Structure 1
C-alpha cells in the first residue's frame, strides 16, 4: 500500500481581517493602553511642576514646549486618555456590583464610554479656551 502524500486543506484560525473584535474586548485593551499612556503623561506633569519650582526661565521653556502645536496635541491625547481611563474605571466599578454584565448592556456601556470620553475631552478643552478668552 502506498503512503498518501497529499496535503489536506486545514481550516485557518480566525485572523484579524476575518474576526470582528467585540467592543468590550477592544475597550479592555484600550483601557490598558490608556493606563500605560497615563504613566508617560504623569511624567510630563511632573516635569512641568519641577520647571515651575526651578526657575522662571526654565518654566517658560517647558511652557513653550507644551504650548506648541505638538505639545498641545500630546496634552489633548493625555486629557483623552485620562478621561477615557476614568470612565473605563467607572464601567468596571459598575460591573463589580454585578450590574450591566449582559452582553448587549456591556456593549452599550462600552460604546457610551468611548462617546463620553470624546465629548468630555472636547468640553474640557473648550472650557479651557473659553476661560482664557480663546
Structure 2
C-alpha cells in the first residue's frame, strides 16, 4: 500500500486485519501486523490492532483458550469496551458453554455496559448529507 503512494491510517489497517481474520488469511494478517510494529505507517499498534491479531489466530485455529485469555486481557486493558465482552460471550456460545455466556453477560450488566449497535454511514450526492444506518 505504501509502495503505491497510499499510506493507510490506524482505522484502515484495523479493517484490513479484520478482513484477513474473516477470510482465514493468517500469514497476510501477520505480515500486515508486523509492518505496523515496524513503524512503516508512522504509528504503533493500538489495542484494537492486537485484538484483531488475536481474533485472526483464534478463528484460524479454533483455539478457545487463546481467545478466552486474550479477551480477558483486553477487558482488563479497556473494561469500558463492550465489544470484547460480546466477542467472548459469542465464543462461549459457539462452544455451548452457556453458564460462561451468562457470567459474561452479568458482568456487562454489573458494569453498565450494553452491546453497541452495528452502524454504517453513506453520503449521498449532490446533497452532501450523511445518512447513518443502525442494526439492532
- Name the TM-score, length of structure 1 as normaliser: 0.31
Larger helix fraction of residues = 1
The one of the two structures with greater contact order (alpha-carbon pairs below 8 A, sep at least 6) is: 1
Larger strand fraction of residues = 2
